[in-house]
Amino acid sequence: MIGTLAGMPELVALDLPAGPRFVDALRRVWDAGDAAMPIDQRLPPAAARAIVDALRPGAVVGDGGDRRRLDGGRPVEPGDALVVATSGSTGRPKGVVLTRDAVAASARSTNARLGVDPTTDIWLACLPLAHVGGLAVVTRAILSDTPLEVFSSFDAETITAAALRAAAAGRQVLVSLVTAALRQVDPALFKTILLGGATPPRRLPSQVVVTYGMTETGSGIVYDGLPLDTVGVAVDPAWPPPAGWRPDGREDLGAHQGVLGHHPRGDGQDHLYGDGASHPSSHPEQAGRPAKRDHPEQAGHPEQAGRPAKRDHPEQAGHPEQAGHPAKGGHPEQAGHPAKGDHPAKRDHPAVLGHILVRGPMLLRAYRDGRDPKRADGWFPTGDVGHVDHLGRLHVSGRMSDVIVTGGEKVWPAPVEKILADVDGVADVAVGGLPDPHWGHRVVAYVVVSDTKGPGPTLEQLREPVKAALGPWAAPQQLVQVPELPRTSNGKVRRDALATLAPAREPA
């Protein structure tokens, strides 16, 4: 029976812990033609109520398993499958609406890239199901009839035991993890580990695939820097972003024409890398991965492109908008695979930072309030900044709102964090910016030391490798030792909370 709100399908909140009952409830909701909205079981009651009030489901399935009506519910559109709550960077609950077609497209593309075989493989789901990274494991298993085991949370011993049981039964195991969980398991137990959330380690075992995506893309859409076969990725070199950009990255660029979307090659056609184009032999399924490797984002730091080889002081730099960036209106860099005749080795232009835009059949239909953040031509502005290297791989520098401008130089936290993570004595690290009377902002390293009884690394020990790799402007100017970093439930650093960890500093 289809939902009863004005004859339209309804939104059903799933207030259930992760496990078989959640999967059964999701199947029943879909069989009824309705859409499901998982409720994060770790939220305090007031926070859960705020999400329900904001997204207005018409019913809820709780521990008893029965559907209970809710007042004030609002229907969904026919064909909607999921509403996933996310606050983005605004802090206000909003719901990402994913259709059945989008969820199915995401599952097909992921399974094709990973070579998932329902007859021999099994998925383990141990990330929170209220987040798309955990929920997508369940939905892709359901839609492909791949065996699935769902856990209430990540526990290293439990997941290890499950992987060993699966192997003993002749199954190959796939799992999605965050970096903190990856450190606690033996990668050799798994056929594939999808790694999302926080900045990945610099060196990864061959089983690990680093993903890029967000709730609005229905899970990861770029694997190890290369977009899935049905995904288009492009980098808009217009920088700073055009008028209309908002800190949450959901801007209206409809009037900003000629910057992104097509790569004219003089043959009367437009070529879009990674957007249904044919793939040469550099496709990841054909190339294989080495046992140990540097993460693709190490291939070259975008802040270095187009800048002088040496620069001792930020004030010696030219205007930051001029460094390595073409004028507005230049065509975007596009990730994936070059069109025929455009071999990567022939590209001699420098990597250029820009706003990452994506498109594909797995993108959201709209937000729960009806707003569609996609451009008229289907491209979705992510709010992230990155570049495409000479091999066609996408490198993500971070959120537009994460950039630290110090002495006129733009410093992205992620590349600095990758370097600092390799310094002796550093167990965990995050980089942020704090106001500075001289430089505008200063780069601050928040470090969890590996030996709490020792002194830990000094500021100079942190600065030297960063200066050597990225330049002096990117080196931390302040060190703050902390017992732990503030993180979201999916492992990402809460950069908005870093500043509260720093002690007050006397004016210079």
Cα–Cα distance between 501 and 508 in angstroms, integer? Answer: 20
pLDDT tens digit sequence for 424-452: 999 999 999 999 888 889 999 999 999 87
- How buried is residue 349: exposed, middle or buried, by Cβ count under 10 Å (0-12/13-18/19+)? exposed
Q: What angle do CA 223, 111, 283 make, to 5 degrees?
A: 45
* pLDDT score, position 255: 27
Look at the chain and count its residues: 508
Measured over the CA atoms of residue 294, residue 297, residue 300 and residue 301, the dihedral's sign is negative
Cα–Cα distance between 162 and 149 in angstroms, integer? Answer: 8
Per-chain mean pLDDT for the chain: 79
* pLDDT score, position 248: 38
* pLDDT score, position 489: 67
Cα–Cα distance between 140 and 490 in angstroms, integer? Answer: 19
Residue 148 token pair: 């699935």
150: pLDDT strictly greater than 70: yes
Half-sphere exposure of 345 (CA within 13 A, CB side): 1
Residue 103, φ and ψ in degrees, nearest 5: -65, -40
CATH H-level superfamily of 403-501: ANL, C-terminal domain (3.30.300.30)
Cα–Cα distance between 236 and 325 in angstroms, integer? Answer: 10
User: Can you give the pTM of this predicted structure?
Assistant: 0.70
Cα–Cα distance between 126 and 426 in angstroms, integer? Answer: 27
Confidence of residue 290 (pLDDT cuts 50, 70, 90): very low
Q: What is the DSSP string of 179-190?
A: HHHHTTS-GGG-
CATH number given to 1-223 = 3.40.50.12780
Please give the sequence-ordered ranges of beta strands (E in DSSP) within 65-107, or none if there are none: 67-69, 80-86, 94-99
Can you tell me the mean pLDDT for 403-429?
A: 88
Question: What are the extents of the domains in the chain?
Answer: 1-223, 228-354+373-401, 403-501
Residues forming a β-bridge with 96? 84, 367
83: pLDDT strictly greater than 90: yes
- The segment with the largest mean pLDDT, out of 12-26, 248-262, 382-396, 489-503, is 12-26
Is 78 in contact with 3 (CB distance < 8 Å)? Answer: no
Residue 228 token pair: 């899935």
Cα–Cα distance between 321 and 433 in angstroms, integer? Answer: 19
